[in-house]
Amino acid sequence: MTPSLRLFGLCGSLRTGSRNRALMAEARRAFGPCDWSEGDLRLPLYDGDLEAQGIPDAVVVVTPEYNKAISGVLKNALDWVSRVKSPVWRDKPVAIMSATAGRSGGERAQSSLRDCLVPFRPHIVPGPEVLVADAANAFDAEGRLNQPRAEAALSDLMTLLRGAIRR
């Protein structure tokens, strides 16, 4: 029996009703069957108990756009990761995406996030870009993405992320 893939989600927005949190849930659904865990950015990122459960096979990072960049809480989490001695994200498949109120869908935040991830040397899945604009209207009452173009891009990105995992 093949062990289940482990997927880790990191959302740069702390708000419970965040559209980025909804986008992360959609990414989990689109990725398919997996053991899912999510980082809580209200706490220090490192947790030896979680590490003992196994290192994730892939990572999804979802970011809002705050003043043309990633959120402070996400940058803080990446700063915590940088303090870990072992290269935990080196060559790890990472998919990035964003949901914003504006019309760009977080394009500059994603560019900023890519720059912040360079020191970790992950394998950032190059695309398609998932840029959810007008996020207040992009999800239905159940939190499901309702923009066909974004849904198609998300599905393709999660397929590529799954395919990038080396076992």
Alpha-carbon gap, residue 103 to 91, rounded angstroms: 32
pTM: 0.81
Summarised one tens digit per residue, pLDDT across range 38-53 is 887 664 445 566 666 6
Taking residues 125-145, what's their average pLDDT?
95
Helices (H), 57-139: 72-81, 107-117
- Domains of the chain by residue range: 6-164
Helix (H, G, I), strand (E, B) or coil at 136: helix
On whether the CB atoms of residues 62 and 39 are closer than 8 A, the answer is: no
Read off the amino acid at residue 1: M
For 6-164, CATH number out of 3.40.50.360, 3.40.50.150, 3.40.50.300, 3.30.930.10 equals: 3.40.50.360
